[in-house]
Structure 1
Amino acid sequence: MTKNLCTPKECMLDAAAIYYGTLYTPDTIDMNAVHELLDAVHESARLSTTASQSLLEPITFDDLCDAFSRAPTTSSPGMDGLPYQLVHLIVTNPACREIALATFNNALRHSDFPPSWLLESLRYTRKSHRFVFAGIQKHWLL
């Protein structure tokens, strides 16, 4: 990266892409340090073999119905613009059963996430006389 000033829009966009690409590129993981850290976890704080295996069992339709029955009903929609109530209806609809199960089980078993699940956004939401930064419990008075 250079310290040259760039003014054309394309140059600024390139500079921003390089800067943030470098900033948000994950560092390599020292697996020896990971194993050392995990080995230091006291036995009483670890999951049993049965409990840890149950975390990787395939997700069932009942699991989905249970999870989505507890989803918030008053929050803002996600990146796809669908409110939770609509997602609940879609995911728990027997006609969508197979694709919903395949989507969630692929995410669990193969880390195969739909692209929209990898996006993140923050937006300001006007509520009464304040702006609330969605996702953070901090208020700015007008």
Structure 2
Amino acid sequence: MAQKWACVPETVWQQARTEALDREYRGEYRILGSDIDPASLEIAQQNARKAGVGKLIEFREADATKMSLPADKGLIVCNPPYGERMLEQRSAQRLYSAFGRHLKYADGWKKYIISSEPEFEHYYGKQAVKKRKLYNGRLQCNVYMYY
């Protein structure tokens, strides 16, 4: 997109592109998708197939607060339930706490967790290194980043 902006010299965006390509990970990787709910997992599989990436992702029915990590390092992107109703909110808060305890010693893993809970870091048990606002539909959320 920047290559079409008159205010950005071609040399600048070419250099940025080269730097990005140099940082690209070219080793082997494994993509796992999991959910505790079989119906949600089926929807995720259908969406992956529609996007043309179904064969690249290994899907598992698993509890995120108990599942073992398949390697010493990696990246976790998680969009846990938000618990927008009061009873569900308490349940979501307990889930965030359990997830935080489970990942407490996963030092080699980067974690990006999306939540609408303003006190997410409190329940998770750790302050995020970075936090970015985003909207999931009309719902204001944050991406909590842990390195």
TM-score by length of 1: 0.24
Structure with the bigger RCO (C-alpha within 8 Å, sep 6+) is 2
Structure with greater Cα Rg: 1
Q: Specify which structure has the higher proportion of strand.
A: 2
